[in-house]
Structure 1
Amino acid sequence: MKIGKADLVWSYLAQILRFGSNLFILPIVLRTLVPEELAIWYLFASISSLVMLIDFGFSSTIIRNVTYVFAGATQLQKEGIVEDSADMNGEVNESFLSRVIFSIKFIYTILSFVGLFLLATLGTFYLYTVIKSETLLFQHNVWIAWSIFVIATVTVIYYLYLTTLLTGRGYIKHAQKAQIVYNGAFIIIAYLGLLFGYGLIAIASALFISCIIERIFLVHYFYDSWIKKIIKNNKATFDQKKEIVTVIWFNAKKMGFVSIGSFFINKMGQFFVTSFFSLKIAAQYGLTLQIVSFVSSASLIYFNTVYPKMIYNFYKGKLDVVKKEWSLSLVLILLFFTLSTTVTLFLGEYVFEAINSKTRMLSSALIAVIMLVSFFEIQHSIAANIMTFSNKIPFLYPSILSGFSILIITYLTLSFIDANVWYMVLIQFLVQLSYNNWKWPYEASKILKTTYVEIIKDGFTNLFLLIKSIKWKY
């Protein structure tokens, strides 16, 4: 599997647009939406994030297993790797690949229907409970925007099957090109809609239309002549699909529960602030998390790009390559967080003042702590991902326990002690620091026969060598 500089460049461009899309339209959003409208949009996003949990770990599990298939595996198993089933020359078993493709498409068809049901029932009910007590002049627009948003979210869920297949195949550049088209369309449509005064409806419509445009590109990139020939000549029976789905489900359900724990850890804050604070504070919190989310996601671009390559090399027993990519990923994350936090603290308020924003971020001290919490979350998450390369999920119960602990402690604290954003942030920080933040980097280091300190040192060395290898032109 070859993932080169072109894949990396396209990944950076795609991720900048993906998480920068909201930042690019943020100035006009902050000028045209009142804080209550902005809070409602962040609530839309939070409900969508909750519903996206129905993916239940399928994406990461599927990417890993698809990579195995393209590495030559002729069968999949529930746990561990069947090394003797692989063609070590890298020849793909076309019949088996076809069955895998049909099975993955079947999985996401089911998931999209489940997502539609949850959004139309529970999501709608929760949104109603939030806005019924508010005196909002734009309630009619909220429901129109919500209807469009539901359709867009279901569309995203269904076409995840193509994204996972492209990534598992190592077609990073192609997947990122589709992502660029999606975000470019979103920015243009949302900006024009907001400019003409359509508010929430404009953003929801932009999301839906850009999903349809992305779908066209995803289909074009994945279903090339070779894949079309394979699926035409090798159909999959229901029993064959059931067998593959059963294997994938074994670890997917574990990753799904991990995702639930992760949601309670990282995403429940928006629900808490909406329930315990005013919509104005909820908007400030959501805006701050949007900035932090952009920093987190941008810092992960390198790791996400080389992720399939790391799985492939782990499968082939090339641990040195895996260690090199991990070390470089970690140092890039550290440096990016340091730079981004500094810029946000010193320039953030001036920027929002310059664009006449109706909503501001939280205090500088809170921003700094939230950035620190996010960094620790990311560094232990990529270590946990490395541990899944052997097709085992050892962090299931700690993740669930941590998530529920944060959920319960936060609820009790806000209900009976004081409704303070500081408590929400510090509870997450302390619970995660007590175990997950250090445990999984330590365990991943053992698997790769190194230490975490060595990984950091190697990361700086590899970064220096990378910079030195660049042919600078004067």
Structure 2
Amino acid sequence: MGRQITQGDMIWGYVAQALNLGGGLLLLPISARYLSPEDLGLWFVFTALAGLAQLLELGFQPTFARNAAYVYSGAQQLAKTGLPARANQESGTNVVLLASLLEAARTVYRAVAGLAGVFMLLLGSLYIKTLLTPNQDAAHSLLAWGMFSLGSIINFYFAYINGFLQGRGDVTQWSKVTVFTRGSLVLFSVSALLMGYGLFGLGIASLLSAAVGRATAHHYFTKDALIERMRNTEITAEGKREILRTLWHNAGRLGVVQIGAFLIQRGNVLIAASFVGLAASGSYGITVTVLMALSGMASVVCQLQLPHLASLQASYNRKAAAEVLGETFLMSWVFFLLGLTFVVVAGDGLLTLIGSRNHLLPWPLCLMLGIVMLLEMNHSIAASYLTTLNKVPFVGAAIFSGIGVTLLTLLLIKPFGIAGIVIAQGAVQLAYNNWKWPLEAVKHLEVSLSNILVLGAKRIVSRYV
């Protein structure tokens, strides 16, 4: 578990993140060309509602991944908060504890999939009917939503596998699952759009890609030598309940954080669709999709480093943690700024070149939103670092910020339109989160930010140059 990520891990990680948003950068140009503005806006509503359903997961996946990292590193028991007791390196992996953790994860995700099914197929369908315009075929749109929902439910049911792959340090396999899932989604979606199946084709593609991804995840998951030992391990009901009680302490808090994050980043798509219409919200949705994909790709080094950081925390090695965090900040900043420059300068021109009927926001708004998301990415990296301490100190800030963004958006969207959404998001985040969590990460490491960045630069030079 203490192994450092390799260049191979990084390559697979970046390929995975490039494909991570199925309706993102690779799918966006062709969907913008072959879907009407109303159908494209409805597609962004689909993805926003799936993000809302994701909140039912309540932050268990990163919690399972982090605690799996502790167990694979030799932890003999798990703690509700803080790091587990320092493990004896010769004690090895506690198979009973790991098996109990796995069974608890399966129980949680069976419940999540069931609740997501009710939310998406019942409540989601009712909401979508209120958005449809006379130009759209209601039966066609709702059938597309049904196929999309089934694919999401399958992903929810087997999501625990991703957490365990990440937690045990199989970051390349974890990335490959994303590559096969999102890659098949792009392939099926492009084929469906070219054949003229429109929004319904995207729904079918979502369902098929979910099946491909879960089969791939199961294949890699069962290659662990401990899986067979876990199958033959007796697990008590009380042991499983104790695991759930322990993990709920932080998972529930991460769930609240996810609600705040949804309100800040994705809830505005639903507000835009309701107040300015599907066509106008489509331009906002395109821009948000591009910038979120860019932020995700810039942050991939953070996601890959989290198991290693958790292992370093378990061994109380702060100097090495500072080096890894400095490397993460520098690589993420450079990647995002280069990408943002390209999007602002050439993004809309490329859409026009391919004959798209949909466009990005005007470049001043696009640049403003990009700066807002850069600052969010920065404090999210710091917040992710703090979770490796098995603490979630930003629960209140996340939910209050999410509510603040929503309320300010509702206040500003009428007089300022889409610009009101961008202003609301940036102003609320700048008031607290943008500076608070980087400061807390620096305080924990007991090293100045400049020294963290110097250590990170030296690590980048030694590893990659």
CA-to-aligned-CA distance 1:375-419 (integer Å, 9 cap, x gap): 11111111111112221111111111111111112212335xx14
8 Å CA contact 1:46–1:267 kept in 2: the answer is: yes
2:121 counterpart residue number: 120
8 Å CA contact 1:352–1:360 kept in 2: the answer is: yes
2:337 partner amino acid: T
- 2:443 and 2:365 mapped to 1: Cα distance? 34
Displacement, 1:269? 1.2
1:453 aligns with 2:454: no
CA distance 1:424–1:21, shift in 2 (3 Å): closer
1:375 counterpart residue number: 374
8 Å CA contact 2:81–2:390 kept in 1: the answer is: yes
1:48 aligns with 2:50: yes
2:206 counterpart residue number: 207
- 1:53 and 1:43 mapped to 2: Cα distance? 16
1:38 counterpart residue number: 40
CA-to-aligned-CA distance 1:295-320 (integer Å, 9 cap, x gap): 10110111111111111111111112
1:303 partner amino acid: C
8 Å CA contact 1:74–1:96 kept in 2: the answer is: yes
- 2:348 and 2:215 mapped to 1: Cα distance? 40
1:424 counterpart residue number: 421
8 Å CA contact 2:45–2:270 kept in 1: the answer is: yes
Q: 2:433 aligns with which of 433, 436, 458?
A: 436
- 2:281 and 2:268 mapped to 1: Cα distance? 9
8 Å CA contact 1:19–1:298 kept in 2: the answer is: no
CA distance 1:308–1:73, shift in 2 (3 Å): same
CA-to-aligned-CA distance 1:186-225 (integer Å, 9 cap, x gap): 1221111111111111111111111111111111111126
Displacement, 1:354? 0.9
Aligned residues: 463
- 1:384 and 1:237 mapped to 2: Cα distance? 35
- 1:224 and 1:338 mapped to 2: Cα distance? 39
1:163 counterpart residue number: 162
Map 1:20-39 → 2, pairs under 5 A: 22-39=24-41
Displacement, 1:163? 0.3
Displacement, 1:267? 1.3
Q: 1:64 aligns with which of 49, 63, 66?
A: 66
2:309 counterpart residue number: 310
1:294 counterpart residue number: 293
Q: 2:85 aligns with which of 78, 83, 86?
A: 83
1:210 partner amino acid: S
1:12 aligns with 2:9: no
CA distance 1:163–1:375, shift in 2 (3 Å): same
Unaligned runs of 5+ in 2: none
Displacement, 1:460? 3.4
8 Å CA contact 1:178–1:217 kept in 2: the answer is: yes
Displacement, 1:259? 0.9
- 2:450 and 2:425 mapped to 1: Cα distance? 25
8 Å CA contact 2:73–2:92 kept in 1: the answer is: yes
Map 1:357-436 → 2, pairs under 5 A: 357-415=356-414, 418-436=415-433
- 1:228 and 1:68 mapped to 2: Cα distance? 17
Displacement, 1:21? 6.3
| TM-score with structure 1 setting the length | 0.94
Q: Secondary structure at the match of 1:23?
A: coil
CA-to-aligned-CA distance 1:43-90 (integer Å, 9 cap, x gap): 000011011011111111111111111011111121112315x23336
CA-to-aligned-CA distance 1:143-196 (integer Å, 9 cap, x gap): 110111111111111111100011001111111112211122112211111111
1:94 aligns with 2:95: yes
1:471 counterpart residue number: none
Moved more, 421-430 or 222-231: 222-231
1:268 partner amino acid: G
- 1:268 and 1:457 mapped to 2: Cα distance? 38
8 Å CA contact 1:189–1:206 kept in 2: the answer is: yes
2:377 partner amino acid: I
2:145 counterpart residue number: 146
8 Å CA contact 1:337–1:371 kept in 2: the answer is: no
- 2:337 and 2:413 mapped to 1: Cα distance? 31
Q: Secondary structure at the match of 2:20?
A: helix
Moved more, 349-358 or 221-230: 221-230
CA distance 1:90–1:264, shift in 2 (3 Å): farther
- 1:312 and 1:161 mapped to 2: Cα distance? 20
CA-to-aligned-CA distance 1:229-277 (integer Å, 9 cap, x gap): 2222203232221110111111100111111111111111101110110
Unaligned runs of 5+ in 1: 469-474
8 Å CA contact 2:22–2:185 kept in 1: the answer is: no
Q: Percent identity?
A: 29
